[in-house]
Amino acid sequence: YILNGRWSFSSGTDHCGWIMIGAALGDREGNALTPPQVLHVLLPRSDYEIDPESWNVVGLRGTGSKDLIISGAFIPTYRTIDADIVLGGNAWQHAGRTETLYKFPFSCIFPLGITSSLIGMAEGALACHIAAQKERVAVTGIPIKEDPYVLYAIGEAAAEIAASRTGLLETVDRFWDKTERGEEVSFEERAIGRRTQTAAAWRAVRAVDEIFARSGGGAMHLKTPMQRFWRDAHVGLSHAIHVPGSIFHASALTQLGGEPQGVHRSMI
């Protein structure tokens, strides 16, 4: 294959010797195929350029998710894999691997790396908020620890963030155990798992909003970490893996005996 194009959001690319990206197949003239066909492809550092000015954002600056530019790179077939095989859960059969990790649903393990980071940000924001409020006195002269409304907000946020973490891990543990027993994780189970994962992300960030709004003006200073947690969490929530619409649609329709089609099967 010959690869050309520009790819955005390549996180951590400055530190990599190789990249794995998605590539849409075209005909010999470069026109996209219908229906679309996508491959995951591997390229060495010598085959692509990094746009150093392409990641200037309000949050998650540390991910360095810069654009890649590829022009006429040759890719041998052995460095490609059909994306549908990966998403369908059959890649392990093609590769001859039988370990649980390789048989584990891709639609569960891929979002896990992103949502777990988001929940970690929420936990960091909560810890930062609690530390700052211990000795804080409001402009009214009342210590924060005597304000029942702020205490309620902290307690509720802590519970929501903990529930997000628990829901995410419970799904992974249950899917892992089932896979290890040699049982297939059904589409309905995967859809519900994605619903749990997506809801966990939104729940955790809403909790961050509640405590950030009660952190006082000092939290707005760039010298304090609270504003960074808030910015990073919101940018993390904008990742495509956290878009709830089609996921909630698919999980509900499947539970009602329907058969989701098209975009409603995406990343499930």
Contact assessment for residue 4 and residue 71, using Cβ atoms and an 8 Å cutoff: yes
d(CA 198, CA 134): 32
Looking at the fold, whether 109 and 228 belong to one and the same domain comes out as yes
Looking at the fold, whether 64 and 149 belong to one and the same domain comes out as no
Looking at the fold, whether 115 and 82 belong to one and the same domain comes out as no
Confidence of residue 86 (pLDDT cuts 50, 70, 90): confident
d(CA 208, CA 123): 9
Q: Is residue 93 part of a domain?
A: no
Looking at the fold, whether 71 and 141 belong to one and the same domain comes out as no
Peptide bond preceding 35 in cis form (omega within 30 of 0): yes
Instruction: Determine the structural domain holding residue 7 and report its residue range.
Output: 2-87
Tell me the β-bridge partners of 41: 21, 80
d(CA 195, CA 201): 10
Q: Is the confidence at residue 179, as pLDDT, over 90?
A: yes
- Which tokens is 46 given? 């010598």
Of 22, 52, 87, the last residue of a domain is 87
Looking at the fold, whether 134 and 190 belong to one and the same domain comes out as yes
| Alpha helix segments (H runs only) across 45-90 | 83-87
Looking at the fold, whether 19 and 77 belong to one and the same domain comes out as yes
Q: Is the confidence at residue 262, as pLDDT, over 90?
A: no
Looking at the fold, whether 168 and 35 belong to one and the same domain comes out as no
Mean pLDDT of the chain: 93
Contact assessment for residue 77 and residue 34, using Cβ atoms and an 8 Å cutoff: no
Looking at the fold, whether 110 and 169 belong to one and the same domain comes out as yes
Q: Is residue 7 part of a domain?
A: yes
Q: What is the CATH number of the domain that holds 228?
A: 1.20.140.10
Q: What is the pLDDT of residues 192-210, one digit of tens each?
A: 999 999 999 999 999 999 9
Query: 99's torsion region: left (phi>0), alpha (psi -120 to 50) or beta?
Result: beta
Looking at the fold, whether 146 and 253 belong to one and the same domain comes out as yes
Residue 125 or 35, more confident: 125
Q: What is the pLDDT of residues 117-144, one digit of tens each?
A: 999 999 999 999 999 999 888 888 889 8
d(CA 132, CA 136): 7
Q: What is the CATH number of the domain that holds 70?
A: 2.40.110.10
Q: Is the confidence at residue 36, as pLDDT, over 90?
A: no
- The total of structural domains in the chain comes to 2
